[in-house]
Amino acid sequence: MSTLQYPIPTVSREWAASRETHPAVAMAIHAVSGPGRTPEQIWEDPTPAEFDHVRMAVENYISAGVFDGETDHGYPWGCAVIVF
């Protein structure tokens, strides 16, 4: 287990499911959002830096035991998939 480096915001299952997004990815998107960029904006059109932070947050959540790792190592983000 590792130390959490990203916040763990509460995200509704409906938010993730309606966007066909893995709950860990949805949580990470919400964690990196802020006053300048909403979770919806990041989900739809992430900047390269936002994408990197979401990926790092998902990896952090898995290594810290917040989420179990997927057997196929894939974490859907709408039509895309983050793969470790």
Q: Tell how far CA 29 is from the center of its chain.
A: 5
**Is the pLDDT reported for residue 1 higher than 80?**
no
3-class DSSP state of 75: strand
Number of domains into which the chain is organized: 1
Cα–Cα distance, 23 to 76 (Å, whole number): 9
Cα–Cα distance, 38 to 69 (Å, whole number): 26
In a domain, 1, yes or no: no
**Is the pLDDT reported for residue 12 higher than 90?**
yes
What is the pTM (predicted TM-score) of this model? 0.95
In a domain, 53, yes or no: yes
In a domain, 46, yes or no: yes
pLDDT tens digits, residue range 21-75? 999 999 999 999 999 999 999 999 999 999 999 999 999 999 999 999 999 999 9
**Domain interval for residue 36:** 13-83
Bridge-partner residues for 74, per DSSP?
83
Q: Which tokens belong to 51?
A: 């994408």
In a domain, 70, yes or no: yes
In a domain, 8, yes or no: no
In a domain, 47, yes or no: yes
Contacting residues for 42 by C-beta, under 8 A, at least 6 apart: 29, 32, 33, 50, 54
In a domain, 6, yes or no: no
